[in-house]
Amino acid sequence: MATKGLTDIIRYREKGWLDVGKSRMMLVDVLQGFYDIRNVIKTEVGENASYVVFRAGVKGGSSFIRPLIRAGRVAPGPEGFSRCLLALAEGGCGDFRLKKIDWKKGFARVTCHNAFEAWAYTKRRRATKGPSCDYTRGLILGFMRATHHHAGTGLEQDLDCVEVSCVASGQSRCEFIVGNRATLKSRGYQGSTPRQSIRQQLKQRVDENTREIQETKRFFERILTNAPIGILTIDSKGIVTSANRAIARMFGTQCKRLIGTPALGQDTVIPSELTAHIERGMEGKHVLVTDYPLNGPKRRFVRITGIPFKDIGRRARGCLYIIGDTTQRTLSARRIEYLKNYNESVIHSIIEGIMVFDPGMKIKIWNRGMEQIFGVKARKVLGKRLKDIGRFIVSSAPFARWIEDVLQTGQAVEKTGVSYSTQTRGSIILNLKILPFLAHDVSDSGIIILHEDVTDSERSEVRYKNLFETAQDGICLTDPDGRIVSANTKMLRALEARWEEVQGVSLEHFLPGDQRPLFRELVAQGRDIEPYELDIIGTSGRLIPVEMSITAIKRAEKIFGFHIISRDISKRKQLESEMIQASKLAAVGELASCVAHEINNPIASVAGYAEEMLDLIRERGGLGAGDLKEFEEDLAIIIEQTHRCKKITESLLSFARQGDLDFIDTRINDVIENTIQLIEPQIKHARLSLFKDLQPDLPVARTSPAQLQQVFLNILMNAIEAVGHGGLIRVTSRSYNGTVRISIQDTGPGICREHMQKIFTPFFTTKPAGKGTGLGLAICYRIMEKLKGAIEVESQMGAGATFTVCVPAQYQETDSKEATAEIM
């Protein structure tokens, strides 16, 4: 029969062995009594002593297993035999191992390094001449015979057991062989047979030695009473028959109060937590419970072993309970387990990678941080050396030399920017810290390597540097006082300086004098500034118009510096100027036809009166005294019409000129009048009405009249086109809260809500293709931004539109002209 699986059932159980260690130490003297009994038997029956003990073992083994087989708890076969050996081992009789078994032939080979009887002899420090574990040998044979008896194999009486080696006689282990007598004899083993009749001798000598046995019993009782572990016996009626001092202390009572009292029920002094285990033992079942909580005067943890007493008929007659206090060991074990789990939780919760090597340079710890960094699970690397995980992570760094330096010096080593190649993440960059790990136990010492993943930060820094240096805008960083701490190439080119020349210099140094107070104020406020226009001065003295935005660098409301972006707008200003001039020329083109018509009438008058004067001279051959008055009237009309043409052309030429953004003291009403005069031909041609309501005492505004006139002209031209023939345009000027507000209201169709949001967007127009560029109002909006003013619009479909131009005013001067309220 195959022995695979069965030979593994009986094995040395270190925990169980240690738990009964106290019992073994306490039973040293008990075993001394067993040794003395054996010597008595030997004295009385001579050479048959071993056989007597052996037969007792056979009887004991058979008596143990047969009730179990009949109850169906043990199978009559190899498994039953193995389970009996297991029970023998768990009962503290030795660390039995089943090396080989062929149950059908009744063969088995069993070894034990610390058999019960051999241990007793070694405690006496007296080696025997040969194998001496006769009782154990009998137990093993009794197990085998009982299984074959109930299986009905017929091999029961042919089986025997011999001990071929024994620790008591100096060998390294005890070895027992069970098999057929003939087979054992053929192999040279001596069978288990009495050398002479012993029945009569035993009867006589037992009678003679009864007193000695009784003394031994009393000796045992003294040992049990004073044993450091609790011992309690209960009879079949549930009455406590014996209890030692240790058990009484556990229960918080005295021995005399325990003995003779019921073990179960309301009158018992035994803790109720033990009820279920006591009942199990009284039912004839073995009890084994470890680390069991027991309430009493103070909370304890105990190990409970219950061994039932049975009569010849295998009926339960009581039970022996051995209760050992394991509180200190249990609490220590739990504390160690808690600390272990706590430390593991802490290590695994750290986001940095932690790898620990034991003294053999094998990976002992690989936390979750390592799993995330390298994409390798701990189960794949634990227990392996660094060189064995090269297929997961690759690096050219000299780890072996670094680790050797740490081991030799005992000092930590830090390395930054170490490159790795991984299967899942590709190339990564780590900062390493290698430390010696020194434990109290040298065998637990090793190396700890901390891994900080800086891949993203390194790549971000490279990307930031590239963006910083290749940006098309000038970028610089300053400290809280505005001193430059970093600047890109574009900024240095704008300042016409090298880095050494600007480092630590305040950006204020590169601004014109009139713009420095504003910059100082913005820096002092420490708030973010939307883009605004100003000039910066290069080292050559060249002024560069820029658009600058300022962002405060803050942390917890504390300012650490400023991030400044400046954009060169020289080309944009030039383009805007060209666009404005183009818009002017477009307006001039629109006015040309009407201006030509307006000039045509005065010229016709001039021509008519000139012809009349010429005809008069020709008819009369000269001028008489009476003709001079008529002649003078005609010349006056000619001069008047000529001045009228001159005024129209001068207005048109003045508007068409390139206007610079020069801020001067400006009377807003004058600019309005000049603009209206410019579009008088348009108004007459369109046959519409223009109503002026101009406040006479408007404050003088410091602005650009040329640029402001273009805004008014553009809005008025749009109004003329919107109202059509017979419409009405109303122009109003008012002073309000430091601002001059000029409103131009028309009675056109109005502007829909969707178009209101786009009306100042460049190239947006609702006119048919070829009728408009979509730049007029966009240019107006941009001009008012430059003039530090604003332009607003209100409209409803079918109710016309109102454009309001807001110009900052000054109050030291006012427009003293009379109010005008005129309809043209």
The tens digit of pLDDT for each residue in 351-371 reads: 788 888 888 888 888 888 888
Q: What is the mean pLDDT of residues 440-446?
A: 59
Rounded distance between C-alpha atoms, residue 742 and residue 731, angstroms: 7
535-553 average pLDDT score: 81
- Strands, E assignment, 36-166: 96-102, 107-112, 159-165
Average pLDDT over residues 406-431: 83
pLDDT-derived band at 461 (thresholds 50, 70, 90) equals: low
The fraction of the chain above a pLDDT of 90, given in percent, is: 6
Rounded to the nearest integer, the mean pLDDT of the chain is: 77
Domain 471-568 indexed as CATH 3.30.450.20: yes
pLDDT one-digit tens code per residue, 580-624:
656 555 555 555 555 555 565 566 666 666 766 676 677 766 666
pLDDT of 110 reads 93
Can you give the pLDDT at residue 11?
Answer: 43
Residues of the chain with CATH 3.30.450.20: 227-330, 350-455, 471-568
The predicted model gives 132-152 an average pLDDT of 90
Distance CA(483)–CA(481), nearest Å, equals 6
User: Of the spans 572-581, 591-600, 748-757, which averages the highest pLDDT?
Assistant: 748-757
Residue 340 CB coordination number (10 Å): 10
pLDDT tens for 627-674 read: 666 677 667 767 766 765 665 565 555 555 545 567 788 899 988 988
**pLDDT per residue over 190-227, tens digit each?**
877 765 555 655 666 667 777 777 787 777 777 777 77
* Predicted local distance difference test score (pLDDT) of residue 7: 47
| pLDDT average, residue stretch 332-341 | 77
Pick the range with the lowest mean pLDDT from 17-26, 175-184, 776-785. 17-26
Cβ 758 vs Cβ 777: under 8 Å:
no
The answer to whether the CB of 438 falls within 8 A of the CB of 452 is no
pLDDT of 379 over the 90 cut: no
More confident residue, 154 or 656: 154
Cα 385 to Cα 401: distance, rounded to the nearest angstrom: 15
Q: Which CATH architecture has domain 659-824?
A: 2-Layer Sandwich (3.30)
Q: Whole-angstrom Cα distance, residue 720 to residue 728?
A: 9
**Would you place residue 1 in the very low, low, confident or very high pLDDT band (cuts 50, 70, 90)?**
very low
What is the maximum alpha-carbon separation in the chain?
Answer: 200
The values of phi and psi at residue 730, to 5°, are -120, 125
| Superfamily the domain 14-206 falls into | Trafficking protein particle complex subunit 3 (3.30.1380.20)
> Under CATH, what is the fold of the domain 227-330?
Beta-Lactamase (3.30.450)
List pLDDT tens digits, range 282-318.
888 888 988 888 776 677 888 889 889 888 888 888 8
Please give the DSSP secondary-structure letter assigned to residue 361.
Answer: S
Q: How many CA atoms lie within 13 A of 458 on its CB side?
A: 13
Q: What is the pTM of this model?
A: 0.33
Is residue 10 very low, low, confident or very high in pLDDT (cuts 50, 70, 90)?
A: very low
The confidence score (pLDDT) of residue 798 equals 78
Query: Residues 6 or more apart from 400 whose CB is under 8 A from it?
Result: none
Tell me which amino acid residue 649 is.
T
Question: What does DSSP say about strands 230-235 and 287-294: parallel, antiparallel, or unpaired?
Answer: unpaired
Please, where in the chain does CATH 3.30.565.10 lie?
659-824
pLDDT over 90 (residue 87): no
350-455: CATH superfamily: PAS domain (3.30.450.20)
More confident residue, 297 or 699: 699
